[in-house]
């Protein structure tokens, strides 16, 4: 098997721009045809070892409701907020990020609709690749479904992450989207992912670095994740993980998204005439054309 030259990814990144590495790396390390099977088998071994390292299939399947709380820090903006994720098997999820001065940003998937509500950007329903990627990562058994979710899985070589020897595996999803996952040779745990992520802002090169794995009721989880995007880093730390049952209501999309879903179902974006929950007139000198004086409370705050 052709091994990845050490530090190749970083060299290429320096030469061609940070974190375009995944695609470049895959091309550079393309396996000869007669080695593909071995590369695939080796990758599966590493993935299986990772599953065992985080607690094993039984532990993964036995936890069907997981609530995680923590902090989100953006050092380059001086921002620190809280993050809460409710996840319920098989794939429902709701994440709240509350940042002072910005408000609560939410993303979720209720088994049907993947959505986002953000105080700044507004509300949107995810589609296409963005939806696929979101739903895939929402599954509590995502670690057990990799062979189903990724038609191409292959071992691409050894590397180092923060001087830690790692095995690199290339995953290609059904849309042809590549991601490279790095697993510690020592522990078997995933320590990084590099990918070109489909987002509402276009494709973004992202590198996730996972550390400080801790055991929560038999499941190991990284309690620190650094997300590197260009020159920026976002750090998420986990303070607590609980496994109490999560009511479906908790995972329901906010009213704003329900309106959009209904509009999609109706095939129309016609607004209702009912202004009973509309906005206040607060300008002081506007001609009030409708006289409504509804509730001020925003659903997403």
Q: Is 255 in the site for another protein (CB under 8 A)?
A: yes
Closest approach of Cβ 132 to another protein, in Å? 13
Torsional sign, CA 83, 184, 141, 264: positive
SS3 167: strand
The residue within the footprint of another protein, chosen from 128, 163, 249, 297 (CB under 8 A), is 297
DSSP for 74-116, please give it: EGGGTEEEEEEEEEETTTEEEEEEEETTTEEEEEEE-SS-EEE
Q: Is 242 in the site for another protein (CB under 8 A)?
A: no
Q: Is 290 in the site for another protein (CB under 8 A)?
A: yes
Read off the DSSP letter of residue 35: G
Could you identify the residue written with the tokens 């705050």? 301
Q: x/- site string to another protein, residues 137 to 176, per CB under 8 A?
A: xx-x-xx---------------------------------
Residues that contact another protein, how many (by CB under 8 A): 96
The residue within the footprint of another protein, chosen from 34, 128, 163, 282 (CB under 8 A), is 282
Q: Is 284 in the site for another protein (CB under 8 A)?
A: yes
Closest approach of Cβ 48 to another protein, in Å? 16
Closest approach of Cβ 17 to another protein, in Å? 4
Could you identify the residue written with the tokens 């987002």? 199
Closest approach of Cβ 69 to another protein, in Å? 11
Distance between CA 130 and CA 21 in Å, rounded? Answer: 21
The residue within the footprint of another protein, chosen from 34, 163, 249, 285 (CB under 8 A), is 285
Q: What angle do CA 209, 93, 110 make, to 5 degrees?
A: 145
Closest approach of Cβ 252 to another protein, in Å? 12
Neighbour-count burial for 234-243, b at 16+ CB within 10 Å, e otherwise: bbbbbeebee
Q: What is each CA distance from 294 to 123, 276, 278, in whole angstroms?
A: 21, 6, 5
Q: x/- site string to another protein, residues 22 to 41, per CB under 8 A?
A: --------------------
Closest approach of Cβ 183 to another protein, in Å? 13
Closest approach of Cβ 91 to another protein, in Å? 11
Q: Is 163 exposed, middle or buried (0-12, 13-18, 19+ CB in 10 A)?
A: exposed
Contact 37, 171 (CB under 8 A): no
- Applying CB under 8 A, the span of 1-9, 26-34, 89-97, 167-175 interacting with another protein comes to 89-97
Closest approach of Cβ 295 to another protein, in Å? 7
The residue within the footprint of another protein, chosen from 200, 240, 242, 250 (CB under 8 A), is 200
- Applying CB under 8 A, the span of 24-32, 36-44, 167-175, 264-272 interacting with another protein comes to 264-272
Helix, strand, coil shares of the chain as percentages rounded to 5?
A: 25, 40, 35
Contact 67, 120 (CB under 8 A): no
- Applying CB under 8 A, the span of 38-46, 68-76, 158-166, 167-175 interacting with another protein comes to 68-76
Q: Is 257 in the site for another protein (CB under 8 A)?
A: yes
């Amino acid at each position: 098997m052709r091994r990845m030259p050490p530090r190749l990814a970083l060299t290429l990144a320096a030469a061609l721009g940070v974190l375009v590495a995944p695609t470049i790396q895959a091309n550079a390390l393309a396996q000869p045809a007669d080695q593909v099977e071995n590369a695939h088998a080796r990758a599966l071994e590493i993935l299986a070892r990772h599953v065992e390292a985080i607690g094993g299939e039984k532990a993964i399947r036995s936890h069907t409701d997981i609530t995680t709380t923590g902090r989100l820090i953006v050092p380059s903006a001086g921002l620190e907020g809280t993050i809460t994720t409710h996840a319920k098997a098989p794939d429902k999820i709701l994440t709240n990020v509350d940042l002072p001065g910005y408000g609560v940003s939410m993303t979720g998937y209720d088994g049907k609709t993947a959505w986002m509500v953000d105080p700044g950007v507004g509300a949107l329903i995810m589609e296409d690749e963005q939806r696929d990627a979101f739903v895939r990562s929402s599954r509590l058994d995502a670690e057990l479904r990799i062979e189903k979710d990724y038609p191409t899985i292959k071992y691409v070589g050894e590397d180092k992450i923060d001087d830690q020897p790692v095995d690199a595996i290339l995953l290609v999803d059904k849309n042809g989207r590549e991601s490279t996952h790095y697993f510690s040779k020592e522990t078997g745990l995933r320590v990084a992912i590099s990918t070109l992520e489909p987002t509402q802002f276009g494709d973004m090169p992202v590198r996730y670095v996972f550390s400080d794995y801790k055991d929560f009721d038999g499941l190991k989880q990284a309690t620190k994740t650094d997300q590197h995007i260009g020159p920026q880093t976002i750090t998420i730390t986990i303070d607590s993980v609980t496994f109490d049952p999560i009511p479906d209501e908790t995972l329901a999309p906010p009213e704003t998204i329900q309106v959009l879903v209904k509009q999609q179902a109706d095939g129309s974006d016609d607004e209702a005439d009912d202004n009973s929950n509309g906005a206040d007139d607060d300008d002081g000198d506007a001609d009030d054309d409708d006289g409504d004086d509804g509730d001020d409370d925003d659903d997403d705050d």
